[in-house]
């Protein structure tokens, strides 16, 4: 689903899941506790049945997998002799429409377990038989007899199903089949690959149209498309999964980075930089070599094995331990814009949102246990401040101790209490995800909704009680002269800069807020004789730190404006005889608003001021 945005924890921050970035299950939506079933689910699931009916008509020997309702629609998995084509989808749609028009009732029936098994076996449906067997096994393992299996029939089609359904096929609203994709049976790579057909269905035509429009709009805003159009970055097969940053993209990057640095300097962070190429013994000590090896790029040199670092944290401990630390030094806040490499599987790479090489606005904060609550609250403030620059509303999810966790349970309990208090004090909008923390840290994940209502997991704050402190034996000398264990907080607020920029491009459809736009203003001389004055004006503005360009090409003014509009430049400053005579300029905004002429100095002042304000709405 284009709209069911996937969480990519591996790039969001540090150590998302247990066992070092094991892929996390569940869409962000689900994680946010939105599992309350959609009222449209019965209809969506019913549509899946109707689709299966249609597929069976066209391919009588099709084997059926499962066909649940999902956000926005439904899918059904099939095993077929040949690959489906777009043409097949239209034919399936037609048959579905016929079934809806026929208004078949959905009729529930049930039969004893054995009979159900035989029923589907006779119909050549091994996947259904497997499900029935599994249900029986679960029951027997629980010391119960296998329950009767239930089926639903509409028209000629009978499917193993627990329901619920709508009354009859006529209740199924406007629908459309979207795509066909490969999907492993039960999501397991050692099982057969089935063909999955995705469809969407809604109560009204308007809702369906809106959904399809949003898909179109998402395509239009796709950062991979806009990245080329706006000349921000490109990808090349010589380094799959890694962006080449063009001058404009790099300018955007640096603007975001310096904004974050400014916050960090204000908050007492100290920036560090650690090597990218690191001997494997470090990764053996951190545990990555055992648990994360397949995601690390290895480098052999002079008989030694190194790896490109997939994260910064272990190395930051070397700086921590470079001398004895006093309780007076804590909190010790090390930030690092380190370049990381993770060997993501080739099939999962995607634009800036799933890459092999990226940079995090990473930091590790070492605190005494008594400082934890205050630090968390401050970090929540950082998140709010940074997201405010883009008009994004962060939502928080607090993930607590999983069953399998390392470390002192009392410490866990205390840390969780402090995190919860900090969230409450900060009046944060949060949900609790019980037992969803990592095995060494409770954490706070941060989500936003973008302009299209899509949910993205962004930042993460992890309160590491065990990993860095224990494994790397971090200590400080406390007030009484004894050695004590600090707590390490991993935090990344943008997450990966690559991914963050990708999301920003889509959120703003390329029209970045004035303060971070790669080109903030274009001076447009009307005729050649205005070029010199245009360069003069640009120099005045540029001297105030505003990113301005002059379009002194031989095009007509209209064309220069069009070009600037396409590039989503916030301000166009048209300069002709009238303006030059009065040393003024009349700004035109990319929204098409024609502003009053102002003097050059005043204009430069205003732009410089707006640039510093970092408002999301300019």
Positions annotated as catalytic residues are 313, 342, 360, 362, 364, 443, 490
Contact 257, 337 (CB under 8 A): yes
Site string for RNA, 237-266 (x = CB under 7 A): x--xx-------------------------
Answer for which of 140, 425, 482, 562 binds RNA (CB under 7 A) is 562
What's the min distance (Å) between Cβ of 176 and RNA?
14
Largest CA distance in the chain: 94
Answer for which of 129, 160, 252, 548 binds RNA (CB under 7 A) is 160
User: Is 553 a binder of RNA (CB under 7 A)?
Assistant: yes
What's the min distance (Å) between Cβ of 343 and RNA?
9
* Residue placing its CB nearer to RNA in the complex, 463 or 504: 504
Residue 113 to residue 262: CA distance in whole angstroms: 66
Contacts 24+ apart (CB under 8 A), 41-45: 41/69, 42/69, 42/163, 42/164, 42/165, 42/166, 43/69, 43/166, 43/171, 43/172, 43/173, 43/201, 43/203, 44/69, 44/70, 44/73, 44/74, 44/201, 45/69, 45/74, 45/161, 45/163, 45/164, 45/165
What's the min distance (Å) between Cβ of 354 and RNA?
8
Full DSSP string of 74-94: EEEEEE-SS---HHHHHHHHH
Q: Report the DSSP beta bridge partners of residue 598.
A: 585
User: Is 188 a binder of RNA (CB under 7 A)?
Assistant: yes
User: Is 186 a binder of RNA (CB under 7 A)?
Assistant: yes
* Residue placing its CB nearer to RNA in the complex, 205 or 348: 348
In degrees rounded to 5, what are phi and psi of residue 387? -70, -25
Contact 211, 38 (CB under 8 A): no
* Residue placing its CB nearer to RNA in the complex, 41 or 385: 41
**Cα dihedral 384, 388, 392, 393 sign:** positive
User: Is 139 a binder of RNA (CB under 7 A)?
Assistant: no
Beta strands in 33-79 (DSSP E): 63-64, 69-70, 73-79
Runs of H (alpha helix) within 82-194: 86-102, 113-122, 126-141
User: Is 586 a binder of RNA (CB under 7 A)?
Assistant: yes
| Binding residues among 12-31 for RNA as defined by CB under 7 A | 25-27, 30
User: Is 184 a binder of RNA (CB under 7 A)?
Assistant: yes
Name the CA radius of gyration of the chain, rounded.
29
* Residue placing its CB nearer to RNA in the complex, 8 or 371: 8
| Binding residues among 491-550 for RNA as defined by CB under 7 A | 526-529
User: Is 321 a binder of RNA (CB under 7 A)?
Assistant: no
Answer for which of 162, 220, 321, 435 binds RNA (CB under 7 A) is 162
| Cα angle 277-280-282, degrees, rounded to a multiple of 5 | 90
What's the min distance (Å) between Cβ of 81 and RNA?
11
Whether residue 459 is preceded by a cis peptide bond, meaning omega within 30 degrees of 0, is: no
What's the min distance (Å) between Cβ of 498 and RNA?
13
* Residue placing its CB nearer to RNA in the complex, 160 or 474: 160
Number of residues that bind RNA (CB under 7 A): 78
User: Is 578 a binder of RNA (CB under 7 A)?
Assistant: yes
What's the min distance (Å) between Cβ of 388 and RNA?
27
Answer for which of 39, 347, 409, 453 binds RNA (CB under 7 A) is 347
What's the min distance (Å) between Cβ of 410 and RNA?
34
Site string for RNA, 39-78 (x = CB under 7 A): ---------------------------xxxxxx-------
Residue 76 to residue 162: CA distance in whole angstroms: 15
Residues across the chain = 618
Answer for which of 102, 107, 228, 451 binds RNA (CB under 7 A) is 228
Residue 568 to residue 561: CA distance in whole angstroms: 10
| Binding residues among 383-412 for RNA as defined by CB under 7 A | none
* Options 53-61, 179-187, 357-365, 602-610: segment touching RNA (CB under 7 A): 179-187
Torsional class of 144: left (φ above 0), alpha (ψ -120 to 50), beta (otherwise): beta
User: Is 147 a binder of RNA (CB under 7 A)?
Assistant: yes
Kindly give the pairing relationship between strand 443-449 and strand 395-399.
antiparallel
Say how far residue 123 (Cα) sits from the centre of its chain.
42
Residues in contact with 484: Cβ distance below 8 Å, sequence separation at least 6, in sequence order: 327, 368, 475, 476, 477, 478
* Options 182-190, 202-210, 469-477, 608-616: segment touching RNA (CB under 7 A): 182-190
Residue 567 to residue 517: CA distance in whole angstroms: 10
User: Is 598 a binder of RNA (CB under 7 A)?
Assistant: no
* Options 222-230, 313-321, 374-382, 402-410: segment touching RNA (CB under 7 A): 222-230
* Residue placing its CB nearer to RNA in the complex, 150 or 475: 150
Answer for which of 118, 224, 414, 544 binds RNA (CB under 7 A) is 224
What's the min distance (Å) between Cβ of 532 and RNA?
12
Q: Report the DSSP beta bridge partners of residue 78.
A: 64, 195
């Amino acid at each position: 689903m284009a709209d069911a945005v996937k969480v990519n924890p591996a790039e969001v921050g540090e150590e998302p899941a247990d066992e070092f970035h094991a892929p996390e299950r569940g869409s962000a939506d689900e994680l946010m506790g939105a599992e309350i079933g959609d009222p449209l689910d019965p209809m969506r699931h019913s549509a899946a049945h109707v689709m299966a009916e249609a597929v069976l008509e066209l391919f009588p020997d099709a084997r059926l997998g499962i066909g649940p309702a999902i956000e926005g629609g439904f899918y059904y998995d099939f095993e077929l002799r040949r690959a489906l084509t777009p043409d097949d989808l239209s034919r399936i749609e037609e048959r579905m429409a016929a079934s809806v028009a026929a208004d078949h009732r959905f009729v529930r029936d049930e039969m004893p377990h054995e009979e159900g098994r035989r029923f589907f076996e006779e119909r050549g449906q091994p996947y259904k038989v497997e499900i029935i067997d599994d249900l029986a096994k679960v029951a027997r393992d629980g010391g119960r007899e296998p329950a009767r299996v239930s089926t639903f029939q509409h028209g000629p089609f009978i499917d193993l199903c627990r329901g619920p359904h709508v009354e009859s096929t006529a209740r199924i609203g406007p629908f459309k089949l979207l795509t066909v994709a490969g999907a492993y049976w039960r999501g397991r790579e050692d099982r057969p690959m089935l063909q999955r057909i995705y469809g969407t269905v809604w109560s009204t035509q308007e809702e369906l149209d809106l959904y399809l429009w949003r898909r179109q709009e998402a395509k239009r805003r796709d950062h991979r498309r806009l990245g080329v159009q706006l000349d921000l970055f490109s990808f090349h097969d010589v380094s799959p999964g890694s962006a080449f940053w063009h001058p404009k993209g790099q300018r955007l990057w640096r603007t975001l980075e310096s904004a974050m640095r400014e916050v960090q300097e204000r908050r007492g962070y100290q920036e560090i930089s650690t090597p990218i190429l690191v001997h494997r013994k470090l990764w053996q000590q951190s545990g990555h070599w055992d648990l994360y090896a397949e995601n690390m790029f290895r480098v052999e040199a002079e008989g030694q094995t190194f790896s490109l670092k997939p994260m910064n944290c272990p190395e930051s401990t070397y700086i921590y331990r470079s001398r004895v630390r006093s309780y007076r030094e804590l909190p010790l806040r090390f930030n690092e814009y380190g370049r990381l490499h993770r060997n993501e599987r080739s099939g999962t790479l995607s634009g800036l949102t799933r890459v092999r090489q990226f940079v995090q606005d990473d930091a590790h904060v070492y605190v005494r246990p008594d400082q934890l609550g205050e630090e968390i609250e401050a970090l929540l403030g950082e998140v709010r401040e940074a997201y405010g620059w883009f008009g994004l509303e962060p939502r928080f999810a607090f993930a607590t101790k999983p069953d399998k966790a390392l470390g002192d349970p009392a410490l866990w309990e205390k840390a969780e209490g402090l995190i919860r208090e900090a969230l409450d004090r900060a009046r944060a909008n949060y949900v609790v995800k019980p037992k969803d923390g990592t095995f060494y840290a409770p954490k706070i994940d941060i989500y936003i909704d973008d302009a299209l209502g899509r949910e993205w997991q962004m930042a993460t704050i992890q309160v590491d009680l065990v990993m860095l402190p224990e494994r790397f034996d971090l200590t400080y000398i406390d007030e009484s002269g004894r050695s004590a264990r600090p707590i390490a907080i991993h935090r990344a607020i943008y997450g990966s800069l690559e991914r963050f920029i990708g999301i920003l491009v889509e959120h703003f459809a390329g029209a970045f807020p004035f303060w971070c736009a790669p080109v903030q203003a274009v001076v447009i001389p009307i005729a050649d004789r205005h070029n010199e004055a245009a360069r003069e004006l640009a120099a005045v503005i540029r001297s105030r730190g505003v990113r301005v360009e002059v379009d002194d090409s031989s095009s007509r003014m209209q064309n220069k404006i069009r070009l600037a509009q396409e590039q989503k430049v916030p301000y166009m400053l048209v300069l002709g005889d009238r303006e030059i005579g009065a040393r003024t300029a009349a700004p035109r905004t990319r929204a098409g608003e024609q502003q009053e002429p102002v003097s050059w100095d005043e204009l430069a002042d205003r732009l410089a001021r707006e640039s510093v304000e970092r408002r999301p709405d300019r």
